[in-house]
Structure 1
Amino acid sequence: MSYLHVLNGDAVLPAFHQSKLPGEFVVCREVLCEGKVKNTQDPDVFFQSRAKHLEFHYGIDKQSYYTQVVQELEKLKPSGSLQEIILWFDSDLFCQFNLLFIIHLIRQRFKVLPLISMVDIPRHPTAENYLQLFDTRTTLTDTDLEIADDIWDALCLETPQALELFAHLNNGQFKHMSTAITAHLARFPNTENGLSSIQEFFLKRLQMGEYRWQDLYKLFWDSMPDYGFGDFQLDIMTNRMIKVGVLEQDDQKLKITSLGLEILANEENYLDYAPMEHRWLGGVRLKTSPWRWNKKLGRLVAMQK
């Protein structure tokens, strides 16, 4: 039987190679929980938009994006011998949104779908994990694939109401999706001081004392595992907070500023100092969006302008 394995990121490649599982593999190197995702059914248009956005706002060279990300995903196309696609993804937000896109891409490119199965892998899989989980993989039904595609479409919309609805629905075999969506929605500016869930976590920890960057990141990874963000994403956020003036760096350590303390006390609002012009969460442009995260209600609410 001919297998095509889809892996989320290069970090898992050594363990996968050691497992010696049969078949070819594709590595998804995207970070689709970060930045703008265009609402389109055309993969070429999507990648063009994505490349432009990542180059301008994240410093990722367009040519590098096409070489490392798009060309790799070109392997995810029909082949006469292909009989099954196996999706290996973790439970966190980072992996779950990439998983949605991969299913969306498969449905766009394949007129006749092969068997598609999914494996719920641990955070740091070993070769033994791959061997054991291979035989317990879950076959995705047509209904499952439609659910995933519907959630992806909701993520790409200009307003987040449809996506939030999926946080409260039965999402079939995607048992981690509700948690991932809720974690994503909590990144919207909150109603009290305009901070996202992660920004508020950082400021609260630094309120108790200085931290080295990596020590603060480790606290985040241990305390908020539902995100699965790497150094790249956290560095972007931290540097933005430094530019805004709520954090400052002193001898390789991060500490909170007086403005950061005032924002934590709800005496100031982060959005009054942070430019939102080119900030996106999925298809939602934060500059023009009235939606804010209400921590007490655990849901989004529309604020009056």
Structure 2
Amino acid sequence: MKSLLHITNGDSFTSRLQSLPLKGDIITWREMLCEGKTLSNVGSESFWKTRFEFLNKNYKVSKSWFVEKTLKEYRSLCNHKQQDQIVLWFEYDLFCQVNMLAVLSWLKTHRRYAEISLVCSGNEDETDKLYGLAELTDEQLLTLYENKTILSQNDIEYADYVWQLYCSDNPIRLENLKDYKNFQFDYLSDAVQAHLKRFPAIKNGLNNIENNILRLAEEEKPRSKKEFLGKILANQGVYGFGDTQYGRLLTSMKPLFSSFNPVKLTQKGRQVLDGKTNYYADIRDNESYLGGALKYSFLYNSDNNRILKL
């Protein structure tokens, strides 16, 4: 009998998976590696130290919480050495895809003998809507599981390579990747493009996400901060961020708003949105990282979709 281990993208889906008639142990990957500095050596002491420092500083995550929720679960993964089949459950969005790359990089080093397969939700019907795992019925999830993608050694090596590039100090190397279609990651190309658009735009110094926030404020005119967050979450494209992440972003952009109840931009906020004023010098943070790269050491040129090094 082959033994089975499932690695999921978060707690809410873990509880859902537990309710399905599937064998095997379940480990939850509790991280958000799409935010903050990342090191390529997943699971090392320096890796976790870097992650804790970011989460503690930016999200007030305590050491006890980090040890209890993230490190204990990681140690549990390390202790699951016997399983010869490992199934990853991730989604189409940037949040999930970056975590998936990190997990595959770790598996490449530490579970070379295991058969690794991927269940990844996204395009599930004839519409343009992309679905998260939690949005699917039990029947759909079991069908996805039956049709899971068994990853070849080449796929795993490629995922590790993309992870190394994500953690490098220069995103231009990631921008130059072109061979996604040769590997079994249907949503990785779009996620990487979305990641590159997180560097500040030449036009006004804000990135794609920040510009989208200003646009929604101006066009939708939400009556409250809660309604505003709801609209941001519903219109974020392939980022897959949560309300705590957007709450932090809104704090950094607060000078561009005269009010959040109702939501109103300042005159400068409207000028920045229209590209008449550049906000780069105001928002620049020399300790802000996207993967291994300093966010404000690069600019995104939306005219040709290329990254420039400052």
TM-score between both structures, scaled by the size of structure 2 = 0.89
Equivalent-residue separation in structure 2 for 1:196 and 1:189 (angstroms): 4
Is 1:257 the counterpart of 2:261 in the alignment?
A: no
2:145 alignment counterpart: 134
2:250 alignment counterpart: 238
Equivalent-residue separation in structure 1 for 2:260 and 2:45 (angstroms): 44
Equivalent-residue separation in structure 1 for 2:28 and 2:251 (angstroms): 28
1:150 alignment counterpart: 161
Contact in 2 for aligned 1:93/1:228 (Cα 8 Å): yes
Q: Which segment is superposed worse, 150-159 or 169-178? A: 169-178
Contact in 2 for aligned 1:107/1:113 (Cα 8 Å): no
Q: Post-superposition shift, 1:214? A: 3.6
Residue type of the partner of 1:183?
A
2:302 alignment counterpart: 295
Residue type of the partner of 1:148?
A
Q: Post-superposition shift, 1:171? A: 5.2
Change (3 A) 1:25 1:152: same
Q: Post-superposition shift, 1:80? A: 5.5
2:120 alignment counterpart: 120
Residue type of the partner of 2:269?
G
Count of paired positions: 297
Q: Secondary structure at the match of 1:170?
A: helix
Equivalent-residue separation in structure 2 for 1:168 and 1:200 (angstroms): 30
1:66-120: CA deviation from partner (whole Å, max 9, x where unpaired): 221121122223646412000011111011001001111222323x421100011
Q: Post-superposition shift, 1:150? A: 0.3
| Stretches of structure 2 lacking an aligned partner (at least 5 in a row) | 122-130
**Residue 185 of structure 1 is aligned with which of 196, 203, 227?**
196
Map of 1:175-214 to 2, 5 A cutoff? 175-208=186-219, 210-211=221-222, 212-214=224-226
Contact in 2 for aligned 1:151/1:163 (Cα 8 Å): yes
Equivalent-residue separation in structure 2 for 1:187 and 1:145 (angstroms): 26
Q: Post-superposition shift, 1:167? A: 5.6
Q: Which segment is superposed worse, 39-48 or 8-17? A: 39-48
1:167-197: CA deviation from partner (whole Å, max 9, x where unpaired): 6643500121110000011111001100111
Q: Post-superposition shift, 1:135? A: 1.2
Change (3 A) 1:240 1:18: same
Change (3 A) 1:167 1:91: farther
Equivalent-residue separation in structure 1 for 2:95 and 2:178 (angstroms): 16
Equivalent-residue separation in structure 1 for 2:242 and 2:173 (angstroms): 27
Contact in 1 for aligned 2:5/2:27 (Cα 8 Å): yes
Equivalent-residue separation in structure 1 for 2:182 and 2:100 (angstroms): 14
Change (3 A) 1:68 1:79: closer
Equivalent-residue separation in structure 2 for 1:261 and 1:169 (angstroms): 38
Contact in 2 for aligned 1:167/1:182 (Cα 8 Å): no
1:285 alignment counterpart: 294
Q: Which segment is superposed worse, 38-47 or 176-185? A: 38-47
Is 1:247 the counterpart of 2:245 in the alignment?
A: no
Q: Post-superposition shift, 1:128? A: 2.4
Contact in 1 for aligned 2:233/2:243 (Cα 8 Å): no
2:278 alignment counterpart: 269
Residue type of the partner of 1:249?
S
Q: Post-superposition shift, 1:223? A: 3.0
Equivalent-residue separation in structure 2 for 1:12 and 1:57 (angstroms): 25
Equivalent-residue separation in structure 2 for 1:241 and 1:80 (angstroms): 46
2:235 alignment counterpart: 223
The alignment yields a C-alpha RMSD, in angstroms, of 1.9
Q: Post-superposition shift, 1:27? A: 0.6
Q: Which segment is superposed worse, 218-227 or 274-283? A: 218-227
Equivalent-residue separation in structure 1 for 2:56 and 2:210 (angstroms): 24
| Stretches of structure 1 lacking an aligned partner (at least 5 in a row) | none
1:87 alignment counterpart: 88
Change (3 A) 1:45 1:268: same
Equivalent-residue separation in structure 2 for 1:56 and 1:222 (angstroms): 27
TM-score between both structures, scaled by the size of structure 1 = 0.90
1:132-174: CA deviation from partner (whole Å, max 9, x where unpaired): 2221111100000000000000000111012112266435001
Q: Secondary structure at the match of 1:6?
A: strand
